[in-house]
Amino acid sequence: MKAAEILALKETALAEARAAGTSAQLEQVRIKYLGRKGCLPKIMEGLKEAPPAERPAMGRYANELKQELSELLETRRDALASATAATSGAAEVFDPTLPGRWRALGARHPISRVIEDAIRIFDTLGFSVADGPDIETEYHNFDALNTPEDHPARDTQDTFWLESGQLLRTQTSPVQIRVMESRPPPVRVIAAGRCYRRDTTDATHSANFHQIEGLYVNTRVSLADLKGDLTWFAQRLMGPEVKVRFRPHFFPFTEPSVEYDFSCHLCRGKGCRMCKQSGWIEISGAGMVNPKVFAKVGYDPEAVTGYAFGLGVERLAMIRYGLDDIRLLYDNDKRFLEQLAQ
């Protein structure tokens, strides 16, 4: 091969590279000229037998072929790549049939909704909102509530203790103590918040749950007031036919004490899956404030009487929304929460 032929071959190669319309075609040009079995290795091979006078020119043209063709192939490859990107990008931008992008809207959690609704209903009876800490002293959670250290009632409320001797409150009842310590009677408050017990989680238990505490202290408060006010609340929350039933019970800080039930609003007391065929749904405990508790907070037990009640928030939420597993309220599964969203 003569030097002039190599020069001509270079021009052909460059022209072919310019004409290639796809990266596959570019690759074919590369293989044809620069590949291991392509033209260039053959030219280099031929150099050895070429007449010495021709060799320098042949070598130079062969190098030019390699250099210029490689550069051109690279530029063409980049150009083709960005052209493809631009075309497919354009298709996306101009598709007017795609649906818009929706931003998911948040909603109040069922637990928060029950708490807010309860606060609103008790507000109509003149109750104001009180608050207390989740980390309580042993005194407020137990002793002041007439539950001394060796009292068996403590066993049912085992909880998480801190090294400081404080504990995660097992009930919202310590807020009763804090309120009465801080102001003279009469008081009419409700207090909602988290409570903690060393319970193993199952369909109806959670180590972390919520209660709403109610406390009304005045000169002539009676058990009839308690029943009347709880009935008013139950009917506002669940529906006008709901009845309230008291069953005798024991709490150290109320005397007498009751556990109370709402009649099942789903079957109207006839018996169904929700109320386990009994027609009644257990809500929580209540009673008349024990005079010993009044004495602890410095109220005169001869001058005042009062009632106190607890409401299990998860219970109310489960009944209201027909849930059979308390864990649904804590899993943060959006598919579940969206169904209840208001």
Helix (H, G, I), strand (E, B) or coil at 332: coil
264 neighbors 279 (Cβ within 8 angstroms): yes
User: In terms of Cα–Cα distance, which of 118, 134, 181 is closest to 309?
Assistant: 118
Residue where the block lists tokens 């029943």: 227
254 forms part of the interface with ligand PHE (CB under 6 A) = yes
Binding mask 265-304 for ligand PHE (x = CB under 6 A): -------------------xxxx-----------------
Q: Give one word for 332, left, alpha or beta, with left for phi > 0 and alpha for psi -120 to 50.
A: left
Binding mask 213-252 for ligand PHE (x = CB under 6 A): --------------------------------------x-
- Shortest reach from residue 99's CB to ligand PHE, in Å: 50
Question: Cβ closer to ligand PHE: 46 or 186?
Answer: 186
d(CA 7, CA 58): 9
- Shortest reach from residue 287's CB to ligand PHE, in Å: 5
308 forms part of the interface with ligand PHE (CB under 6 A) = yes
User: In terms of Cα–Cα distance, which of 214, 208, 180 is closest to 194?
Assistant: 208
Strands (E), 269-304: 280-289
- Shortest reach from residue 248's CB to ligand PHE, in Å: 13
Contacts (Cβ under 8 Å, ≥6 apart) of 316 = 114, 118, 237, 283
Which of the stretches 130-138, 236-244, 270-278, 306-314 binds ligand PHE when contact is defined by CB under 6 A? 306-314
Question: Cβ closer to ligand PHE: 193 or 287?
Answer: 287
- Shortest reach from residue 333's CB to ligand PHE, in Å: 28
Question: Cβ closer to ligand PHE: 43 or 215?
Answer: 215
Task: Count the site residues for ligand PHE by CB under 6 A.
Answer: 11
Strands (E), the chain: 128-129, 135-136, 167-168, 187-196, 208-218, 244-251, 254-263, 280-289, 305-312
Distance from CA of residue 133 to its chain's centroid? 23
173 forms part of the interface with ligand PHE (CB under 6 A) = yes
198 neighbors 159 (Cβ within 8 angstroms): yes
Which of the stretches 25-33, 43-51, 308-316, 321-329 binds ligand PHE when contact is defined by CB under 6 A? 308-316
* 152-171 positions binding ligand PHE, by CB under 6 A: 171
Quote the crossing angle between the two packed helices 55-93 and 3-19, to the nearest 10°. Answer: 0
- Shortest reach from residue 281's CB to ligand PHE, in Å: 16
- Shortest reach from residue 157's CB to ligand PHE, in Å: 7
Q: Quick one: which of 262, 309, 313, 323 contacts ligand PHE (CB under 6 A)?
A: 309
Question: Cβ closer to ligand PHE: 269 or 287?
Answer: 287
Contacts (Cβ under 8 Å, ≥6 apart) of 175 = 130, 131, 132, 189, 191, 193, 213, 215
- Shortest reach from residue 289's CB to ligand PHE, in Å: 8
Partners of residue 259 on adjacent β-strands: 247, 285
Question: Cβ closer to ligand PHE: 13 or 195?
Answer: 195
d(CA 269, CA 278): 7
- Shortest reach from residue 183's CB to ligand PHE, in Å: 19
Residues forming the site for ligand PHE (CB under 6 A): 171, 173, 251, 254, 284-287, 308-310
